[in-house]
Protein backbone atom coordinates (compact mmCIF):
# COMPACT_ATOMS: atom_id res chain seq x y z
CA UNK A 1 0.00 0.00 0.00
CA UNK A 2 1.21 3.49 -0.86
CA UNK A 3 0.69 5.22 2.49
CA UNK A 4 0.41 8.69 0.97
CA UNK A 5 -2.59 7.50 -1.06
CA UNK A 6 -4.33 5.40 1.60
CA UNK A 7 -7.62 6.90 2.81
CA UNK A 8 -9.84 5.22 5.39
CA UNK A 9 -13.56 5.47 4.67
CA UNK A 10 -15.47 4.92 7.91
CA UNK A 11 -19.02 3.98 6.99
CA UNK A 12 -17.92 2.62 3.62
CA UNK A 13 -20.93 0.32 3.21
CA UNK A 14 -23.47 3.15 3.45
CA UNK A 15 -25.15 4.69 0.42
CA UNK A 16 -22.86 7.73 0.35
CA UNK A 17 -19.89 5.69 1.51
CA UNK A 18 -20.06 3.58 -1.65
CA UNK A 19 -19.96 6.70 -3.82
CA UNK A 20 -16.93 7.91 -1.84
CA UNK A 21 -15.03 4.64 -2.25
CA UNK A 22 -15.68 4.65 -6.01
CA UNK A 23 -14.55 8.28 -6.28
CA UNK A 24 -11.34 7.59 -4.34
CA UNK A 25 -10.46 4.74 -6.69
CA UNK A 26 -11.28 6.89 -9.72
CA UNK A 27 -8.93 9.59 -8.37
CA UNK A 28 -6.05 7.14 -7.79
CA UNK A 29 -6.36 6.82 -4.00
CA UNK A 30 -6.28 3.53 -2.12
CA UNK A 31 -9.43 3.26 0.01
CA UNK A 32 -9.44 1.29 3.24
CA UNK A 33 -12.96 0.13 4.08
CA UNK A 34 -13.97 0.54 7.68
CA UNK A 35 -17.12 0.51 9.78
CA UNK A 36 -19.08 -1.57 12.25
CA UNK A 37 -20.19 -4.52 10.13
CA UNK A 38 -17.26 -6.76 9.14
CA UNK A 39 -19.42 -9.01 6.95
CA UNK A 40 -20.85 -6.14 4.90
CA UNK A 41 -17.37 -4.66 4.52
CA UNK A 42 -16.04 -7.94 3.13
CA UNK A 43 -18.94 -8.17 0.68
CA UNK A 44 -18.28 -4.61 -0.50
CA UNK A 45 -14.55 -5.25 -0.84
CA UNK A 46 -15.25 -7.96 -3.44
CA UNK A 47 -16.46 -5.25 -5.81
CA UNK A 48 -12.89 -3.93 -6.10
CA UNK A 49 -9.66 -5.90 -6.33
CA UNK A 50 -7.20 -5.54 -3.49
CA UNK A 51 -9.24 -3.25 -1.25
CA UNK A 52 -8.36 -3.69 2.42
CA UNK A 53 -11.00 -4.11 5.12
CA UNK A 54 -10.51 -2.87 8.69
CA UNK A 55 -13.61 -3.20 10.87
CA UNK A 56 -13.87 -0.79 13.80
CA UNK A 57 -16.47 0.49 16.23
CA UNK A 58 -16.72 3.92 17.80
CA UNK A 59 -16.95 2.47 21.31
CA UNK A 60 -13.56 0.74 20.85
CA UNK A 61 -10.80 3.36 20.42
CA UNK A 62 -8.17 0.68 19.87
CA UNK A 63 -10.09 -0.66 16.87
CA UNK A 64 -10.25 2.84 15.39
CA UNK A 65 -6.51 3.27 15.93
CA UNK A 66 -5.88 0.01 14.05
CA UNK A 67 -8.19 1.11 11.25
CA UNK A 68 -6.31 4.39 10.78
CA UNK A 69 -2.79 2.99 11.13
CA UNK A 70 -0.60 4.06 8.20
CA UNK A 71 -3.40 5.99 6.46
CA UNK A 72 -2.98 9.49 5.04
CA UNK A 73 -6.50 10.65 5.94
CA UNK A 74 -9.89 9.47 7.14
CA UNK A 75 -13.32 10.26 5.71
CA UNK A 76 -16.20 9.70 8.11
CA UNK A 77 -19.39 8.84 6.23
CA UNK A 78 -21.15 7.01 9.07
CA UNK A 79 -24.11 8.65 10.72
CA UNK A 80 -25.53 9.51 13.07
CA UNK A 81 -22.57 11.84 13.50
CA UNK A 82 -23.69 12.69 17.01
CA UNK A 83 -22.37 9.20 17.79
CA UNK A 84 -19.48 8.74 15.35
CA UNK A 85 -17.85 12.14 14.80
CA UNK A 86 -16.22 12.52 18.22
CA UNK A 87 -14.57 9.09 18.42
CA UNK A 88 -13.38 9.14 14.79
CA UNK A 89 -11.94 12.67 14.91
CA UNK A 90 -10.18 11.82 18.17
CA UNK A 91 -8.65 8.77 16.51
CA UNK A 92 -7.57 10.94 13.58
CA UNK A 93 -5.82 13.36 15.92
CA UNK A 94 -4.09 10.47 17.70
CA UNK A 95 -2.90 9.28 14.30
CA UNK A 96 -1.95 12.80 13.23
CA UNK A 97 -3.97 12.64 10.00
CA UNK A 98 -6.69 14.85 8.48
CA UNK A 99 -10.33 14.16 9.27
CA UNK A 100 -13.17 15.02 6.90
CA UNK A 101 -16.83 14.12 7.36
CA UNK A 102 -20.13 14.48 5.52
CA UNK A 103 -22.31 15.34 8.51
CA UNK A 104 -25.54 17.21 7.85
CA UNK A 105 -26.59 17.21 11.51
CA UNK A 106 -26.53 20.76 12.84
CA UNK A 107 -25.77 19.76 16.42
CA UNK A 108 -22.93 17.41 15.45
CA UNK A 109 -21.30 20.12 13.34
CA UNK A 110 -21.71 22.76 16.04
CA UNK A 111 -20.11 20.39 18.52
CA UNK A 112 -17.17 19.77 16.20
CA UNK A 113 -16.38 23.49 15.96
CA UNK A 114 -16.93 24.08 19.68
CA UNK A 115 -15.23 21.07 21.19
CA UNK A 116 -12.35 20.18 18.87
CA UNK A 117 -11.00 23.49 17.56
CA UNK A 118 -8.22 23.84 20.12
CA UNK A 119 -7.18 20.18 20.07
CA UNK A 120 -7.04 20.07 16.27
CA UNK A 121 -5.08 23.32 16.11
CA UNK A 122 -2.61 22.05 18.70
CA UNK A 123 -2.23 18.76 16.83
CA UNK A 124 -1.77 20.60 13.54
CA UNK A 125 -4.46 18.42 11.98
CA UNK A 126 -6.98 19.63 9.42
CA UNK A 127 -10.56 18.82 10.44
CA UNK A 128 -13.29 19.65 7.92
CA UNK A 129 -16.84 18.85 9.03
CA UNK A 130 -19.91 18.90 6.74
CA UNK A 131 -17.82 18.51 3.58
CA UNK A 132 -20.92 17.42 1.69
CA UNK A 133 -23.94 18.60 -0.26
CA UNK A 134 -25.41 20.16 2.89
CA UNK A 135 -22.99 22.40 4.74
CA UNK A 136 -19.98 22.19 2.46
CA UNK A 137 -21.38 23.09 -0.95
CA UNK A 138 -23.47 25.96 0.37
CA UNK A 139 -20.50 27.34 2.28
CA UNK A 140 -18.31 27.24 -0.84
CA UNK A 141 -21.03 28.99 -2.86
CA UNK A 142 -21.58 31.73 -0.28
CA UNK A 143 -17.83 32.28 0.03
CA UNK A 144 -17.43 32.47 -3.75
CA UNK A 145 -20.41 34.81 -4.12
CA UNK A 146 -19.02 37.23 -1.54
CA UNK A 147 -15.75 37.47 -3.44
CA UNK A 148 -13.95 40.59 -2.24
CA UNK A 149 -16.61 41.46 0.34
CA UNK A 150 -15.36 41.19 3.91
CA UNK A 151 -18.89 40.96 5.31
CA UNK A 152 -22.53 40.75 4.26
CA UNK A 153 -25.89 41.41 5.85
CA UNK A 154 -27.60 38.21 4.75
CA UNK A 155 -26.92 34.92 3.00
CA UNK A 156 -29.79 32.94 1.50
CA UNK A 157 -29.29 29.35 0.35
CA UNK A 158 -32.25 27.81 -1.49
CA UNK A 159 -32.25 24.08 -2.20
CA UNK A 160 -34.20 23.24 -5.32
CA UNK A 161 -34.54 19.46 -5.25
CA UNK A 162 -36.87 17.80 -7.75
CA UNK A 163 -37.40 15.03 -5.18
CA UNK A 164 -35.74 13.62 -2.09
CA UNK A 165 -35.66 9.88 -1.56
CA UNK A 166 -33.84 9.68 1.78
CA UNK A 167 -31.49 6.86 2.70
CA UNK A 168 -31.91 4.99 6.01
CA UNK A 169 -28.89 6.93 7.26
CA UNK A 170 -30.57 10.24 6.47
CA UNK A 171 -33.67 9.20 8.35
CA UNK A 172 -31.70 8.03 11.38
CA UNK A 173 -29.60 11.19 11.49
CA UNK A 174 -32.75 13.30 11.19
CA UNK A 175 -34.38 11.55 14.13
CA UNK A 176 -31.28 11.96 16.28
CA UNK A 177 -30.99 15.66 15.41
CA UNK A 178 -34.71 16.18 16.10
CA UNK A 179 -34.38 14.52 19.51
CA UNK A 180 -31.27 16.52 20.44
CA UNK A 181 -33.14 19.80 20.04
CA UNK A 182 -36.34 18.42 21.62
CA UNK A 183 -38.33 18.87 18.43
CA UNK A 184 -37.69 22.59 18.22
CA UNK A 185 -36.75 24.35 14.99
CA UNK A 186 -33.55 26.33 14.59
CA UNK A 187 -32.38 29.37 12.62
CA UNK A 188 -29.33 31.64 12.45
CA UNK A 189 -30.35 35.23 13.07
CA UNK A 190 -28.72 38.24 14.76
CA UNK A 191 -25.41 36.42 14.69
CA UNK A 192 -26.51 33.39 16.72
CA UNK A 193 -28.36 30.10 16.56
CA UNK A 194 -31.91 30.50 17.79
CA UNK A 195 -34.16 27.62 18.78
CA UNK A 196 -37.87 28.29 18.36
CA UNK A 197 -41.33 26.78 17.94
CA UNK A 198 -42.58 28.96 15.08
CA UNK A 199 -44.57 27.14 12.44
CA UNK A 200 -42.91 26.61 9.04
CA UNK A 201 -43.68 29.29 6.46
CA UNK A 202 -43.97 28.74 2.71
CA UNK A 203 -42.99 31.24 0.05
CA UNK A 204 -42.00 31.21 -3.63
CA UNK A 205 -38.41 31.19 -4.86
CA UNK A 206 -37.34 31.98 -8.41
CA UNK A 207 -34.74 29.36 -9.23
CA UNK A 208 -32.88 29.61 -12.52
CA UNK A 209 -34.31 27.43 -15.28
CA UNK A 210 -35.12 24.62 -15.66
CA UNK A 211 -36.54 24.62 -12.11
CA UNK A 212 -38.09 28.08 -12.31
CA UNK A 213 -40.48 29.43 -9.70
CA UNK A 214 -41.07 26.91 -6.90
CA UNK A 215 -42.77 26.87 -3.53
CA UNK A 216 -40.19 26.51 -0.75
CA UNK A 217 -40.25 26.14 3.00
CA UNK A 218 -38.43 29.09 4.53
CA UNK A 219 -36.00 28.40 7.37
CA UNK A 220 -35.77 24.73 6.48
CA UNK A 221 -32.50 24.92 8.32
CA UNK A 222 -29.50 22.91 7.16
CA UNK A 223 -25.83 22.67 8.17
CA UNK A 224 -24.95 25.87 6.29
CA UNK A 225 -26.07 27.87 9.34
CA UNK A 226 -23.08 26.31 11.12
CA UNK A 227 -20.44 26.33 8.37
CA UNK A 228 -21.02 29.80 6.87
CA UNK A 229 -20.96 31.81 10.13
CA UNK A 230 -17.96 29.84 11.36
CA UNK A 231 -15.74 32.07 9.20
CA UNK A 232 -17.84 34.74 7.51
CA UNK A 233 -19.30 37.80 9.31
CA UNK A 234 -22.87 37.30 8.09
CA UNK A 235 -25.38 37.84 10.91
CA UNK A 236 -28.27 36.15 9.12
CA UNK A 237 -28.06 32.87 7.19
CA UNK A 238 -31.27 31.37 5.86
CA UNK A 239 -31.80 28.08 4.06
CA UNK A 240 -34.85 27.04 2.06
CA UNK A 241 -36.15 23.72 0.68
CA UNK A 242 -38.55 23.02 -2.16
CA UNK A 243 -41.89 21.83 -0.80
CA UNK A 244 -41.93 18.64 -2.86
CA UNK A 245 -38.56 17.54 -1.46
CA UNK A 246 -39.60 18.38 2.12
CA UNK A 247 -42.76 16.30 1.69
CA UNK A 248 -40.72 13.37 0.38
CA UNK A 249 -38.45 13.57 3.40
CA UNK A 250 -41.35 13.80 5.85
CA UNK A 251 -43.21 10.81 4.42
CA UNK A 252 -42.33 7.39 5.83
CA UNK A 253 -43.55 5.88 2.55
CA UNK A 254 -40.94 7.58 0.37
CA UNK A 255 -38.63 4.83 -0.96
CA UNK A 256 -34.84 4.90 -0.93
CA UNK A 257 -32.93 6.26 -3.96
CA UNK A 258 -32.93 4.06 -7.06
CA UNK A 259 -29.99 4.10 -9.48
CA UNK A 260 -30.73 5.15 -13.05
CA UNK A 261 -27.21 5.26 -14.52
CA UNK A 262 -23.95 3.33 -14.44
CA UNK A 263 -22.60 5.66 -11.75
CA UNK A 264 -25.37 4.61 -9.36
CA UNK A 265 -27.04 8.03 -9.34
CA UNK A 266 -30.77 8.51 -8.92
CA UNK A 267 -32.85 10.67 -11.27
CA UNK A 268 -33.00 13.45 -8.70
CA UNK A 269 -31.64 16.78 -9.93
CA UNK A 270 -30.89 19.86 -7.88
CA UNK A 271 -30.09 23.54 -7.94
CA UNK A 272 -28.47 25.26 -4.99
CA UNK A 273 -29.24 28.94 -5.45
CA UNK A 274 -27.32 31.39 -3.27
CA UNK A 275 -27.97 35.09 -2.82
CA UNK A 276 -25.83 37.27 -0.55
CA UNK A 277 -26.74 40.86 0.26
CA UNK A 278 -24.69 43.77 1.56
CA UNK A 279 -26.68 46.96 1.82
CA UNK A 280 -28.58 47.38 -1.46
CA UNK A 281 -26.25 45.13 -3.46
CA UNK A 282 -26.91 41.44 -4.12
CA UNK A 283 -24.69 38.78 -5.59
CA UNK A 284 -25.96 35.42 -6.84
CA UNK A 285 -24.41 32.07 -7.71
CA UNK A 286 -26.06 28.74 -8.50
CA UNK A 287 -24.88 25.13 -8.64
CA UNK A 288 -26.71 22.50 -10.72
CA UNK A 289 -26.21 18.76 -10.59
CA UNK A 290 -27.66 15.28 -10.19
CA UNK A 291 -28.17 13.31 -6.96
CA UNK A 292 -27.32 14.99 -3.66
CA UNK A 293 -25.70 11.83 -2.29
CA UNK A 294 -23.56 11.19 -5.36
CA UNK A 295 -22.25 14.78 -5.54
CA UNK A 296 -20.97 14.46 -1.98
CA UNK A 297 -18.28 12.04 -3.19
CA UNK A 298 -16.36 14.47 -5.46
CA UNK A 299 -16.79 17.17 -2.82
CA UNK A 300 -15.22 15.16 -0.01
CA UNK A 301 -12.54 13.47 -2.12
CA UNK A 302 -11.45 16.78 -3.66
CA UNK A 303 -11.18 18.13 -0.10
CA UNK A 304 -8.91 15.26 0.93
CA UNK A 305 -6.80 15.68 -2.21
CA UNK A 306 -6.28 19.39 -1.50
CA UNK A 307 -5.42 18.83 2.15
CA UNK A 308 -2.88 16.15 1.32
CA UNK A 309 -1.21 18.35 -1.30
CA UNK A 310 -1.10 21.44 0.90
CA UNK A 311 -3.68 23.50 -1.02
CA UNK A 312 -5.28 24.90 2.12
CA UNK A 313 -5.62 28.23 3.91
CA UNK A 314 -6.04 26.98 7.48
CA UNK A 315 -5.41 24.19 9.96
CA UNK A 316 -7.53 22.91 12.81
CA UNK A 317 -11.32 22.76 12.50
CA UNK A 318 -12.42 24.73 9.45
CA UNK A 319 -15.33 24.74 7.03
CA UNK A 320 -14.89 24.26 3.29
CA UNK A 321 -15.08 27.96 2.51
CA UNK A 322 -12.46 28.79 5.13
CA UNK A 323 -9.85 26.16 4.36
CA UNK A 324 -10.07 26.10 0.54
CA UNK A 325 -10.07 28.58 -2.34
CA UNK A 326 -13.83 28.46 -2.89
CA UNK A 327 -13.93 29.57 -6.54
CA UNK A 328 -11.14 27.24 -7.59
CA UNK A 329 -12.65 24.35 -5.65
CA UNK A 330 -16.04 24.80 -7.33
CA UNK A 331 -14.43 24.94 -10.78
CA UNK A 332 -12.65 21.66 -10.08
CA UNK A 333 -15.98 19.86 -9.66
CA UNK A 334 -16.93 20.21 -13.33
CA UNK A 335 -18.57 18.36 -15.04
CA UNK A 336 -20.26 16.80 -12.00
CA UNK A 337 -21.35 20.29 -10.92
CA UNK A 338 -22.31 23.22 -13.12
CA UNK A 339 -21.83 26.71 -11.67
CA UNK A 340 -23.56 29.84 -12.97
CA UNK A 341 -23.42 33.38 -11.61
Please give the pLDDT value at position 4.
Answer: 74
**3-132+295-340 in CATH: which number?**
3.40.50.720
**134-291 in CATH: which number?**
3.30.360.10
Please give the pLDDT value at position 50.
Answer: 83
Residue 298 is given by DSSP the state: H
Please give the pLDDT value at position 306.
Answer: 98
Please give the pLDDT value at position 276.
Answer: 98
Chain centre distance of CA 94: 23
Q: Which of 174, 84, 171 is nearest to 129 (CA)?
A: 84
Each domain of the chain, given as residue ranges in start order, spans: 3-132+295-340, 134-291
CA distances from 324 to 67, 178, 299 (A): 27, 31, 12
Please say whether the beta carbons of 258 and 165 come within 8 A: yes
Please give the pLDDT value at position 222.
Answer: 96
**What is the pLDDT of the chain when averaged over all its residues?**
96
- 3-state helix, strand, coil split of the chain in percent (to 5) is 40, 25, 35
Q: Which H helix or E strand runs over 224?
A: helix 224-227
The string of pLDDT tens digits covering residues 52-66 is: 999 999 999 999 999
Confidence (pTM): 0.97
147-152, long-range: CB < 8 A, 24+ apart: 147/283, 149/276, 149/278, 149/283, 150/233, 151/232, 151/233, 151/234, 151/278, 152/232, 152/233, 152/234, 152/276, 152/277, 152/278
Q: Which of 120, 190, 126, 148 is nearest to 326 (CA)?
A: 148
Q: How far apart are the two ends of the chain, measured CA to CA in Å?
A: 42
Q: Which H helix or E strand runs over 281?
A: strand 281-290
Instruction: State the Cα–Cα distance between residues 90 and 96, nearest whole angstrom.
Output: 10
Instruction: State the Cα–Cα distance between residues 139 and 318, nearest whole angstrom.
Output: 11
* Residues of the chain falling short of pLDDT 70: 1-3
Query: In 3-state terms, what secondary structure has residue 104?
Result: coil
Please say whether the beta carbons of 101 and 85 come within 8 A: yes
Amino acid sequence: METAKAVVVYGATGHTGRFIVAELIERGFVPILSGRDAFRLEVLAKEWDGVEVRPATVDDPASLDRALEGAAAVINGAGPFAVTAGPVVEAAMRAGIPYVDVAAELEANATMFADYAEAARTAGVAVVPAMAFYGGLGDLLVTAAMGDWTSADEAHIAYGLTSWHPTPGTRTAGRVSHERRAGRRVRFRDGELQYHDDKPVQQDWDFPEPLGRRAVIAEFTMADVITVPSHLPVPEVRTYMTVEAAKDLASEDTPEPVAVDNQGRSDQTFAVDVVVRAGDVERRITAHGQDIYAITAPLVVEAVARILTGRTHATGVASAGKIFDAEDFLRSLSPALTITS
